[in-house]
Amino acid sequence: MGGSMERARALPFIRGGGRMTTAELAERYLMQTGRRLPVTFVRGQGCLVYDESGKEYLDLVAGIAVNLLGHAHPDVAAALSAQARSLIHTSNLYFTQPQVELAKRLVELSFPSRVFLCNSGAEANEAAIKLARKWGTRNRDGAFEIITALGSFHGRTLATVTAGGQHKYSDPFEPLPGGFVHVPFNDIDAVKAATTPKTVAVMLEPVMGEIGVIPPAPGYLEAVRKWCDEQNLLLILDEVQTGMGRTGKWFAHQHHSLTPDVMTLAKGLGGGVPIGACLASPRADVFEPGDHGSTFGGNPLACTAALAVLNVIERDGLIGHAAEMGELLRASLEAIPSKSTRGIGLMQAVEFEEPRAKAIQQACLDAGLVVNAVDDHSIRLVPPLVITAAQIDRAGAILREAVG
């Protein structure tokens, strides 16, 4: 038995005399950490992606709210190519010009702060959590507990999976790190009741994404901000999914009259190139040399990609366009028989009474439309900001047909 297994391992491409498919190779060689839909994408252009057979799909998932400029954007490709021929990586033992330029641009777009650059949303949140703990040591008698929302999603590292209040993601990994308290989203009284002398921060997604696009109730984020001010707590906003224009503002909190103390970004920031950022206001910016770091974080290649993304968003007026296209997308979803539609800008979801979301997702895929079933009942749509009205019409027609 061992022998045939050894032989199979040595001959990965041979199966019954034929070539293994990408899916078969993935099953053999990739850890099975998640389920994949039965499609292999090989290239993309704007909001379109193509599979191995050349079939075209309209992509309303955009790498899970990542590809703000769609696929293969010429400005990002040109910037990456030029930077790759010049300087890809140096580590953070030295200064690099794209990194400081990106940090400056992010601060100018958001609120007075300084930036830590990393490689993903989870890492950005990990930085925020460490920052809050150090701030608590200095400013609140060693307070360390962070209040987060039940059902939130902050990443898959041990701390961030514990921060997100979803047991299915955290329970297999017990014992989990302490210091997180979960309360229902959109319930300011629950935040107040959970606050103790041990509390150091409240950490929220301004619109809950992964659980199915749940916007904040009117006044909720403002009430949390006020409570944090009164109680001397930090407000951490995880804008990993909502940031960089997706909601029709650069950052979702800009729809409200508040600024956070700490904000995290990733996803859309690099237009598909992995990058994350944690911004801290002067009040929260307590990291000192040696406190935190990342070998790859903020390397010239990733920062150049992010700068190209920011330039195109500004040059092409994509924030306003996202708001406008968001309205169209919302109207098109409202025309579909469903339990509810919800969202803001180009971050929308439609929920069905029956557990049909996975079947609808597959029917859409068959018909050339990529959408994301976040659970059995809800479909999430987070297309590139460059989507057009005609593409929204086409997506709406396919989705309506799939819903039946």
Ligand X SMILES: Cc1ncc(COP(=O)(O)O)c(C=O)c1O
Contact residues: ligand X, CB under 6 A? 64, 120-122, 125, 153-155, 205, 209-210, 238, 240-241, 266
| Partner residues linked to 56 by β-bridges | 50
Which amino acid, residue 171?
Answer: D
Closest distance of CB 276 from ligand X, Å: 6
* Sequence-separated (6 or more) residues with CB below 8 Å from residue 315: none
Closest distance of CB 151 from ligand X, Å: 11
Closest distance of CB 297 from ligand X, Å: 13
* Sequence-separated (6 or more) residues with CB below 8 Å from residue 6: none
Q: Which is nearer to ligand X, 238 or 285 (CB)?
A: 238
Catalytic choice (153, 180, 185, 287): 153
Closest distance of CB 120 from ligand X, Å: 4
The three-point CA angle 205-203-147 to 5° equals 130
Catalytic choice (238, 251, 261, 352): 238
* Residue 192 annotated as catalytic: no
Chain residue whose CB lies nearest ligand X: 121
Closest distance of CB 61 from ligand X, Å: 12
Question: How many whole angstroms separate alpha carbon 249 and alpha carbon 110?
Answer: 11
Q: Which is nearer to ligand X, 347 or 386 (CB)?
A: 347
Question: How many whole angstroms separate alpha carbon 48 and alpha carbon 391?
Answer: 10
Closest distance of CB 372 from ligand X, Å: 11
Q: Which is nearer to ligand X, 44 or 155 (CB)?
A: 155
Question: How many whole angstroms separate alpha carbon 184 and alpha carbon 194?
Answer: 11
Q: Which is nearer to ligand X, 121 or 272 (CB)?
A: 121
Catalytic choice (261, 267, 287, 352): 267
Which amino acid, residue 43?
Answer: R
Question: How many whole angstroms separate alpha carbon 342 and alpha carbon 350?
Answer: 7
Question: How many whole angstroms separate alpha carbon 210 and alpha carbon 208?
Answer: 6
Q: How many residues can be counted in the chain?
A: 404
What is the DSSP-derived secondary structure letter of residue 256? T
Q: Which is nearer to ligand X, 122 or 143 (CB)?
A: 122
Q: Which is nearer to ligand X, 160 or 391 (CB)?
A: 160
User: Which candidate, 65, 114, 105, 124, places its Cα nearest to that of 265?
Assistant: 124
Question: How many whole angstroms separate alpha carbon 259 and alpha carbon 113?
Answer: 11
* Residue 189 annotated as catalytic: no
**Three-class secondary structure of residue 174 per DSSP:** coil
| Partner residues linked to 14 by β-bridges | 19
Contact 347, 378 (CB under 8 A): no
Which positions are annotated as active-site residues? Answer: 153, 238, 267
